[in-house]
Structure 1
Amino acid sequence: MAQPTSSALRALALEYKSLLDEPVEGFRVKLVNDDNLFEWEVAIFGPPDTLYQGGYFKAHMKFPPDYPYSPPSIRFLTKVWHPNVYENGDLCISILHPPVDDPQSGELPCERWNPTQNVRTILLSVISLLNEPNTFSPANVDASVMYRRWRDSRGKDKEYENIIRSDPTSKLSKYVSVTYTQL
Structure 2
Amino acid sequence: MATSQSVLLLQKQLNELLKHPVEGFSAGLVDNDNIYEWEIIIIGPPDTLYEGGFFKAKMTFPKACCFMDNEYPMMPPKLKFVSDMWHPNVYPDGEVPNDESPANIEAAKEWRENYPAFKKRVQRIVRNSIG
Normalised to the residue count of structure 1, the TM-score between the two structures is: 0.63
Residue in 2 aligned with 1:70? 75
**CA offsets per residue over residues 78-105 of structure 1, 9 Å max, x none?**
01011011011001144xxxxxxxxxxx
1:142 partnered with 2:106:
yes
Partner SS for 2:129: coil
1:15 partnered with 2:43:
no
1:37 to 23, 35, 38: 35
Gaps of 5+ in 2: 64-70
Gaps of 5+ in 1: 95-133, 151-156, 167-176
Of structures 1 and 2, the one scoring higher in RCO (CA 8 A, sep 6+) is 1
1:164 to 99, 122, 130: 122
Residue in 1 aligned with 2:26? 28
Q: C-alpha separation between the residues in 2 aligned to 1:144 and 1:92? A: 14
Equivalenced residue count is: 123
Once the two structures are superposed, the pairs formed by residues 20-169 of structure 1 within 5 Å of their partners are: 20-65=18-63, 66-94=71-99, 137-149=101-113, 157-166=115-124
Residue in 2 aligned with 1:121? none
Sequence identity (%):
42
Q: C-alpha separation between the residues in 2 aligned to 1:60 and 1:36? A: 13
Between structures 1 and 2, the one with greater strand share = 2
